[in-house]
Amino acid sequence: MSNTHRLDYTALMELKWVEDFLQLAETGSFSRAAELRYVTQPAFSRRIRALEQWLGAELIDRTSYPTKMTKAGEQFRERAIEIVRQTMDARAIARGLQSAPTDTILFAAPHTLSLTFFPNWMTVLAKKLGRVKAKLNAVNVHDAVMSLVEGNCDLLLCYHHPNQPVQLDESRYEMIVLGTETIAPFAKTDNEGRALFTLPGSDQRKIPYLSYTPQAYLGRMVELILQQSPLRAHLDCVYENDMSEALKVMALEGHGLAWLPESAVAREVKAKRIARCGDAHWTGTMEIRLYREKGAQREVVDAVWKAALAR
């Protein structure tokens, strides 16, 4: 391997350390940040240490909980955001990508919201503002949030629950609650319109379970529902996917039960192709939130923000 390749590899790793640090600064938790960065906690801690050694300064006050930044950490945080943003800009230029036109709004949103809430919301905005030009990056919740933190979008749409919060610095970002979303268990219906499976099931007859992957935000919501339910669900996981649309297709084919956002199955419920599998004990409610960075001044973004406030 040439020296040039070694330098490129080192630079790449150092960018990952900076992104790790920003995630830790947002969550205030090594374990949570490691989970969102899809690495083990020991590996995540080593990367933070490596960044501190490279900088020659301690960024984290490890004597406090929740985790807090040292003075050096607070100062580096702002610089870290710029480092990531400039790197992404440089990569876009290198790839020959052009920035969005000045009259186009850059959105980031989880896959489910991009397919359910976003199209209807754009219709509402169009009635107030006329046609809104938009570019939407549909990713997982973590990447959507990081898109805002790294300056790669104007507006962030995401879910929020008190036990699964999106932890953005209130001094840097402002937020509007646009609505709520209920997630509930659904399954294919029989000839009489009843769900093929009913919670909680039993040890003798476990319900085939269509699960989110552990890293998925909705997967963590389902785990929370199961933990808080007064009854124990008897489930047999037969399939995993991080996208609700994929789980919905499997449920419609009769492969099992899946927790799905109600907005994602509204048409199928009305057509009696799918039905709930349990009562309110098995449901959860999330807020749908809109975020933007304070002080960001773009006329088209301001217009959408004001329209959202006036809903």
| Domain end marker among 45, 72, 94 | 94
Contact (CB, 8 A) for 144 and 156: yes
195 lies in the same domain as 266: yes
Residues near 171 by beta carbon (within 8 Å), at least 6 away in sequence: 294
289 forms beta bridges with 158, 177
295 lies in the same domain as 274: no
| Domain end marker among 94, 113, 140 | 94
Domain membership flag for residue 114: yes
194 lies in the same domain as 282: yes
Contact (CB, 8 A) for 140 and 244: no
304 lies in the same domain as 278: no
Rounded CA-CA distance 29/133 in Å is 37
pLDDT of 215: 77
Domain membership flag for residue 164: yes
Rounded CA-CA distance 281/259 in Å is 13
pLDDT of 15: 80
Contact (CB, 8 A) for 26 and 149: yes
90 lies in the same domain as 156: no
Domain membership flag for residue 262: yes
Closest to 219 in 3D by CA, of 246, 199, 189: 246
Name the DSSP class of 206: P
pLDDT of 95: 47
Residues found in the chain: 311
Question: Domain with 25 in it: what CATH number?
Answer: 1.10.10.10
Residues near 270 by beta carbon (within 8 Å), at least 6 away in sequence: none
Domain membership flag for residue 243: yes
Name the DSSP class of 67: -
Domain membership flag for residue 28: yes
C-alpha angle with apex 53: 47 to 54, nearest 5 degrees? 90
Rounded CA-CA distance 39/45 in Å is 10
> Within 13 Å of residue 296, how many CA atoms lie on the same side as its CB?
22
pLDDT of 103: 84
Domain membership flag for residue 174: no
pLDDT of 3: 39
35 lies in the same domain as 132: no
Contact (CB, 8 A) for 173 and 158: no
Contact (CB, 8 A) for 274 and 262: no
77 lies in the same domain as 25: yes
* Domains in the chain, number: 3
- pLDDT tens-digit profile, the chain (311 residues): 333 333 343 444 478 888 889 888 888 888 888 877 767 888 888 889 988 888 888 999 877 667 788 999 999 988 888 887 777 666 655 544 445 557 899 999 999 999 999 999 999 999 999 999 999 999 888 788 888 887 889 999 999 999 888 878 788 899 999 999 999 999 999 999 999 999 999 999 999 999 998 778 899 999 999 999 999 999 999 999 989 999 999 999 999 999 999 999 999 999 999 999 989 999 999 999 999 988 777 889 999 999 999 86
Question: Domain with 118 in it: what CATH number?
Answer: 3.40.190.10
47 lies in the same domain as 189: no
189 lies in the same domain as 254: yes
150 lies in the same domain as 198: no
161 lies in the same domain as 207: no
pLDDT of 89: 67
Domain membership flag for residue 173: no
The parent domain of residue 71 ranges over: 3-94
Assign 4 to helix, strand or coil: helix
pLDDT of 34: 82
186 lies in the same domain as 262: yes
Domain membership flag for residue 118: yes
Quote the tokens at residue 85.
Answer: 């943003």
pLDDT of 92: 58
Rounded CA-CA distance 22/147 in Å is 12
Q: What is the dihedral of CA 228, 285, 28, 243, to 10 degrees?
A: 100
| Domain end marker among 65, 94, 123 | 94
Backbone angles phi, psi at 177, to 5 degrees: -85, 115
